[in-house]
Structures are given as structure tokens and as C-alpha cells.
Chain A
Amino acid sequence: MRIGIVCPYSWDVPGGVQFHIRDLAEYFIRLGHEVSVLAPADDDTPLPPYVVSAGRAVPVPYNGSVARLNFGFLSAARVRRWLHDGKFDVIHIHEPTSPSLGLLACWAAQGPIVATFHTSNPRSRAMIAAYSILQAALEKISARIAVSEYARRTLVEHLGGDAVVIPNGVDVDFFAQAEPKPEWQGETIGFVGRIDEPRKGLPVLMRALPKIFAERPDARLLVAGRGDEKEAVENLPKELRPRVEFLGMVSDEDKARFLRSVDLYVAPNTGGESFGIILVEAMSAGAPVLASDLDAFAQVLDQGAAGELFANEDADALAEAAVRLLGDPARRAELRERGSAHVRRFDWSTVGADILSVYETVTAGAAAVAADDKGSPGLMARFGLARD
């Protein structure tokens, strides 16, 4: 099958959606499908052979922050050329509502289109203004995929229609077979994520730390992620600071080893999560997980069966649960076991097969993808001017 995938975010900037697309593309290539990914990228960045650059993304203020987007004549022309050259059986657009390549591709293509909605942004003001344009483009999507039941609900509320839920994929064995690192073992609590992004929840964990460290004198916290380390420990009593270790950005291999090593993985995120891939990675590595009770997290953790949940933003509840888990090796072993079994459904072998099922469902009986001539064939035909 010839598959075209559209990535809305710059290939040179690491991010969840980009990693998802990379893994998906490589999974399909391994199965022998032909895959081409259209992504924004600087012209001088080295790209894998299956990625086609759609030009550089332009930073513009959008939706309260600066987003790097692709739009305008040049990008639209590149999208058209890619569609025309690719002769795809199906195209898979990620984040079709972001005003970037996804929307452009949706606008420019006709034929079987599959779209994955990753984030669940509430409808922005711009989207309401552009609603009819957006709606006309989104109507072309034959199959919508939401990454979680939560993302699906928001999608249905804001855009109407329906979607199937297929979670994000993880290479479970990559994490399950990683080698633990002795210096990261021994009553360690793990945290992965941007330090200076409050939504990732490190401040909540910091507030809970004094209590945890008081009850568990040997416990340590390991933090993997970028950000200002001094600012992060500012409110922590001085004598506790040496028990917090910052590892900075870690490679994929080190992340896997990190998750394999820690005795408890804590995800104190306070919001803005539509899936929670890191929890799946932690469970794959066999780390017992303690997470805030966000909708998306509760679903990934099977409503608390595969990992423990605490009340969101409640540092005391976090401390209480962490102390209890650190002091109960039997419960942690149970969580490890349940997590490892539960996580199989997020493995690429399952997720990739499901996405392929979607492709096969929409391509059954449909023509291949082509560049859309902006509705003009219909118009021309109506005035009796059609060429064919």
C-alpha cells in the first residue's frame, strides 16, 4: 500500500507527534509498505529517506503562544506536488485542525483521508471564525482516529461526528529489555518531563517531597528533562536538595534504562494531557506507576488497575501514596506485573495493525488520493464546461 503521512510540526524539533509518526512510518516500512512523510523542516536538516520537507515552519503567534506553522502559497504548492507525485492509496493527516500542513493537505487532497487527533484543544476563537472553511476541509476526512477516549469525547463535542479510538504506540520490548543502571536503583523515584513546564507537575512533586523524604530516609528523586534545575528546587529545604538528582535531557536508550531502574515512577501532570505515552513507556519498562487522576491517565492505567492514581494537584495525596508504595514491595511487584500485561495493547504490533485496518476499511472501494481541483470540476460540469 502507498501511504502518505502528513506531520504538522517541525521534524527537527523533538515532540510526541513527531516520534509517533516516525515510529508509525518505520513500522509500515518494515511491513513492506511504501511510506512518504511530509513534514516541515529546515532545508539543511538531514532527514530520513522517507521524509519529504515541506519547507521551513514560520514562527507566528497563535492561540496564546508562538507556534511554528506552515502556510501560504509556497507550502500549499509543496503539498500539492507531494500529493501529485506520491499517488497514495491513503493519506494519514495528523492534527488536521492546526492551521499548518495538516489543514493544507486536507484542503488540497481528495480520496481516502485518515486523520488522527492528538491533542484535544478546546475550540479556539480563530477556529470559530474559520469554522465553515474548517468544516468543509474536515468533511473530506473519511476516518477519524482519536488517541484516547478522552480525546474522542472532546472531538465529538467540538466538531461533531465520531471517531475510533486507537492509542499511541510504544515499542514495548525496547523498554522491557533495557538494562537497569545500578546507580539509578535503590529506593528511587523517577520523573521524566520538562522541569519548567508547570503542567508536567514537577512543582506538585516538589511540594510532596519533604513528607516522602521524612518517612523514607533512603529515598531519592531522579529527574530527567530539560529546564532550570536551581529554580526547581528553590522551595525545597536545603538539606533535602542533595537527594534530588537532575540528569538533564536523556537519550531514548537512557530513558529506557532509567525507567527500568527506578522503584516508582511518578507522573504528577496537572492537565493538558490527552494520552500519556510516558506512562505506557514506564509500564513497558516494568516501573510501578503513580499518576495524577487526569481522565487520560486514568484510561491509560485502566482506571487504576495497572497503576495507582492520586487526586490531581494534591501534594499530600501524592506523598501518602508514594510513601505507602515505597514501603510495600509486594504491591509494587503486583503493579509491575499488571502494568507489563496491560501495556501489550499499546505495542506497535497491535496499534500498527489497527491503524492498517483503518486504512484498509477506507480504501475498500474508494479511488486513490489525488490533488483536489478545488471543486471546480463540479462547477465546470454544472455549466457544461467539463473537460472529461
Chain B
Amino acid sequence: MTATLIWILVVLVVLVAIGLYLSWTAGRLDRLHARIDAARAALDAQLLRRASVAQELATSGVLDPAASIVLYEAAHAARQAEEEQREVAESELSQALRAVFADAQQLEIVREVPGGEAAAHELTEAVRRVPMARRFHNDAVGAARRLREHRKVRWFRLAGHAPFPMAFEMDDEPPTALADRAG
């Protein structure tokens, strides 16, 4: 009789322990998803900021007409892109920025006009922060994916209905004239 009771107790304790562990894991996963959301919001903000600065520069008349059109087109496409085309559009903006600012002199021209110093600074900051924000986002996505691929998470459906997190893949190489931190 007592033996059965002890067994029932043991089973109960084990079940509670498993339950607590699963709950803790679900909490971990929840936090990771929250981190991805925050990182994605930050990435969106940085991408938007970069596109805005690029568009401002394109419409300012500082650049030659051809460069202005190339940059305006790319910045506009990046801002308007649907979710599925976003990565491609943002990559194209990176390419356009690299093409326009391939020559360090172009940056000097921007710096010389009134307010140009501030614009050049903003653009430098923006092209620097986009890769940062993207790396932080993809880091969070990687951590969540590793946890979600674990047996305990799949078997007990701890992730609920949260969509499987996707990394944001794009070409975010900044123009060398803007990336060179020397001097």
C-alpha cells in the first residue's frame, strides 16, 4: 500500500518537474521571439532611415542627374517594397549607394554644400548601422531556430502558432568611401 503511494508520489514529482522544465523552455522561447520582434523593428528602422537619407540626397540636386535618378529609383523601391521583395530591393539600394559613392570625391562634393556635412554624416551612420542591426536580428533568429528544432519543443509544440523565424538576407556592404573609418 505505502509502496504504491510512494510510487504515485514519485511519478507526480517527476511529472511536475517535467512540466516546470517545459514551462521554463516555453518562457525562453517566448523571450527569444520577443527579442526577434525588437531586433526586426530596429532593423526596419535602420533600413528606413538609410532609404530616407538616400532619397533626400537624390532629390537635393547635389548629385549629378544620372546618379540622382539611380539613387532615387533604388531608395524609392526599397521604401515601397512588399515584404517578399524587401531583401532584393534593399540589396539593390546597397548596390546603388556603392555605385554612386564609388569615388570618395563624390562624398567631398556632398560635404561642401550647406547642410551636406550633416547629410554625409547621417548616411555614414545609416550604412554602418544596417549591417549591425541585421546581424543582431539574424543572431536572434539563429538562437530561436536552434531551440525550436529541439525535440522537446517540437513534441510538445511549445512554439505554439508563432511562425518559424526567418533570417533577413541582403547585401549590406557599405560603399568603401563611407566605410573607411580612418582619418
Residue numbers of A with Cβ under 8 A of B are: 110, 112, 136, 139-140, 142-144, 160-164, 341-342, 344-345, 350, 354, 357-358, 360-362, 364-366, 375, 378-379, 382
Residue in B27, B42, B128, B183 whose CB lies within 8 Å of A362: B42
Residues of chain A with a CB closer than 8 A to B39's CB? 142, 362
Residues of chain A with a CB closer than 8 A to B128's CB? 354, 357
Residues of chain B with a CB closer than 8 A to A143's CB? 132, 136, 139
Question: What 7 pairs across the A-B complex have the smallest Cβ distances?
Answer: A375-B27, A378-B27, A365-B41, A345-B181, A161-B139, A364-B42, A162-B139
User: In this assembly, does B165 line the interface, its C-beta being within 8 Å of a C-beta of chain A?
Assistant: no
Chain B residue at minimal CB-CB distance from A342: B182
Residue in A164, A345, A362 whose CB lies within 8 Å of B131: A164
How far is A160 from B143 in the complex, measured between Cα atoms in Å?
8
Quick one: CB contact mask for B131-155 with A, threshold 8 Å, 1 for yes?
Answer: 1110110111011001100000000
Q: List 30 A-B contacts (CB under 8 A).
A: A139-B28, A139-B35, A142-B136, A143-B136, A143-B139, A144-B139, A160-B143, A161-B139, A161-B143, A162-B135, A341-B182, A341-B183, A342-B182, A344-B183, A345-B182, A350-B181, A360-B129, A361-B42, A361-B129, A361-B132, A361-B136, A362-B38, A362-B39, A365-B41, A365-B45, A378-B23, A378-B30, A379-B20, A379-B23, A382-B26
Chain B 40-75 residues near chain A, CB threshold 8 A: 41-42, 45-46
Residues of chain B with a CB closer than 8 A to A140's CB? 31, 35
Residues of chain B with a CB closer than 8 A to A112's CB? 38
Residue in B30, B135, B140, B142 whose CB lies within 8 Å of A164: B135
Q: A357-B125, A375-B27 are in contact. List 20 more A-B contacts (CB 8 A).
A: A139-B32, A140-B35, A143-B136, A144-B136, A161-B139, A162-B139, A164-B131, A164-B132, A164-B136, A341-B182, A341-B183, A354-B128, A357-B128, A358-B132, A362-B136, A364-B41, A365-B45, A366-B38, A375-B24, A379-B27
Residues of chain A with a CB closer than 8 A to B147's CB? 139
A344 and B143 within 8 A (CB): no
How far is A352 from B139 in the complex, measured between Cα atoms in Å?
22
Residues of chain B with a CB closer than 8 A to A360's CB? 129
Chain B 89-128 residues near chain A, CB threshold 8 A: 125, 128
- Smallest distance from the beta carbon of A221 to chain B beta carbons, Å? 32
Q: Which of B28, B131, B133, B136 has the most CB of A within 10 A?
A: B136
Chain A residue at minimal CB-CB distance from B30: A378
The number of chain B residues touching the other chain, given as a range, is 20 to 34
How far is A143 from B133 in the complex, measured between Cα atoms in Å?
9
How far is A361 from B24 in the complex, measured between Cα atoms in Å?
28
How far is A360 from B30 in the complex, measured between Cα atoms in Å?
23
Contacts known (A163-B135, A357-B132, A365-B41); A142 close to B183, Cβ less than 8 A: no
A162 and B42 within 8 A (CB): no
A161 and B41 within 8 A (CB): no
Residues of chain B with a CB closer than 8 A to A110's CB? 31
Residues of chain B with a CB closer than 8 A to A382's CB? 23, 26
- Smallest distance from the beta carbon of A253 to chain B beta carbons, Å? 27
How far is A161 from B26 in the complex, measured between Cα atoms in Å?
20
Residues of chain B with a CB closer than 8 A to A379's CB? 20, 23-24, 27
How far is A112 from B42 in the complex, measured between Cα atoms in Å?
12
